[in-house]
Amino acid sequence: MLEKLTCIGCGIDIQTEDENKQGYLPLSLVAKSVDLNHLICKRCFRLKNHNEVTDVELGAEDFYKMVKDLSKKDALIVKVVDIFDFSGSWIEDVTDIVGKNKDLVLVANKMDLLPKSVKENKIKQWLFKMMKQRGIKVKDIFLISAIKNHGVEELASHLDRLRNKKDIYIVGATNVGKSTLINKLIELTTGDKNIVTTSHFPGTTLGMIEIPLDSRSSIYDTPGIILDYDISHYLDAKSLKLVIPKKEVKARVFQLNPEQSIFFGGLARMDFVKGSRQSFTIYASNLVDLHRTKLENAVSLFEKHLGKMLAPPFEDNLSIFNNVVKKSFRITNRKIDIVISGLGWITINSDAGCEIDIWLPKEIEVFTRDSII
Ligand SMILES: Nc1nc2c(ncn2[C@@H]2O[C@H](COP(=O)(O)OP(=O)(O)OP(=O)(O)O)[C@@H](O)[C@H]2O)c(=O)[nH]1
Ligand SMILES: [Mg+2]
């Protein structure tokens, strides 16, 4: 019988009995390993070396349960969000999980995806406003790119001060880059690279992963919460590859007349309902095609071509996308962004004002903010 061993890649308990269950590692390999704190389960091995994912038995509630106990811990909580998908990666009942009156730091990751022209102070202002609206007090907000190692060292030194010798827990929705961040923090202190498993598949980390900070305290990576209002929840692997940007999103500018529409693949549609001819700047994954059409043709085009010319989503993965609702916006003369969660945003600078309709599945959130450009 083994003492309790865990996988350093995903935090799951190691077992040596059933190779089809999570946490499997053959006994022979356990026996051979020099350091029992650095065991890697079969699933992590395959993810790291072949980028293959195997199904896990855990469901959304199991992930939720694992982090819920954090509310009892006296620790500094670092909440990570994906800056490209803020509301799709924001956990609404975050105080449920981490407890009230907890020291909380917000980290907005994946800054590398935003165009260089964004103003960081505008993003910070917007995030502080979002926190205030939600009644959440944060100690500070940091903008980073874990993958590019931007802002990580500065974050580390601030965390060391803010934690007051307490433990740190990195929490957030699945896929926001918690493990990628942990890896960079480990690299800063020990030089070891890619210790924890990361992947573009949701649900990569399966348990708490403890990394000692000093003899008394640790930093923990945690399993991500799976959110059913995030667009990525409804897309298959093929679509996800196109919709989640891998590189800086490029501005795509359209000069539109009223009664013209733009399709974002088949995921959403913007109608320019009323106003005078003006430009619309669209920021979305460079791999999502934008189609311009006349408003009067938009409905029939959608019905005929969804999943084919209007893709992603593709024909075998239309789930929520063929059932769309309209959300209307009346823009006055400010420069604003209409943000479609997880998909991107449209920057509108309308001197004379205009009316815009956005058509999309009701599950996906759309909202406006002062432009970050
Ligand atoms: N563009 C970009 N991608 C990132 C960044 N950080 C992480 N990613 C990517 O986002 C995906 C998810 O990263 P993970 O670190 O596994 O995310 P996680 O939050 O640990 O996910 P779970 O373990 O499922 O909760 C991977 O494909 C990463 O390469 C970043 O700063 N920029
Ligand atoms: Mg992870």
Q: What pLDDT score was predicted for residue 2?
A: 53
Antiparallel, parallel or unpaired: β 268-274 and 354-361: antiparallel
pLDDT attached to residue 188: 93
- Judged by its nearest atom, the ligand closest to the C-alpha of residue 183 is 1
Contact 162, 103 (CB under 8 A): yes
Atom of ligand 1 nearest to the CA of 203: 24
DSSP 9: T
Ligand nearest to the CA of 225: 1
List ligand 1's pocket residues with C-beta within 6 A.
109-110, 112-113, 145-147, 172, 174-180, 198-200, 202-205, 223-224
Q: Which ligand is nearest to the CA of 67?
A: 1
Atom 11 (ligand 1) nearest CA: 200
Pocket test for ligand 1, best of 175, 221, 225, 247 (most atoms within 8 A of CB): 175
Torsion 273-277-278-283 (CA) sign: positive
Contacts 24+ apart (CB under 8 A), 56-63: 56/22, 56/203, 56/206, 57/21, 57/22, 58/22, 58/203, 58/206, 58/223, 60/225, 60/226, 60/228, 63/174, 63/203, 63/223, 63/224, 63/225, 63/226
Distance 285 CA to ligand 2 centre (A): 23
Mutate to test the pocket of ligand 1, among 64, 149, 176 (most ligand atoms within 8 A of CB): 176
Nearest CA to ligand 1 atom 32: 110
In contact, 173 and 193? CB cutoff 8 Å: no
**pLDDT averaged per 10 residues, the chain (length 373):** 82 93 92 89 90 74 82 92 90 78 93 94 94 92 98 97 96 95 95 92 90 94 87 88 94 97 98 96 97 98 96 93 95 90 93 93 92 89
Distance CA 123, CA 138 (A): 15
Q: How many angstroms does the Cα of residue 162 sit away from the middle of ligand 2? A: 23
For the CA of 176, the closest atom of ligand 1 is: 19
Neighbours of ion ligand 2 (CB under 5 A): 178-179, 204-205
Nearest Cα residue to atom 2 of ligand 1: 110
The encoded tokens of residue 69 equal 């106990």
**C-alpha 186 – ligand 2 centre gap (Å):** 14
Whose C-alpha lies nearest to ligand 1, atom 8? 177
**343: CA distance to ligand 2 center in Å?**
22
Residue 67 is predicted with a pLDDT of 83
| Ligand 1 centroid from CA 269, angstroms | 28
Atom of ligand 1 nearest to the CA of 144: 31
> Residue 336: its pLDDT value, please?
94
63 Cα nearest atom in ligand 1:
25
170 C-beta neighbours (distance < 10 Å), count? 26
- Predicted pLDDT of residue 15: 95
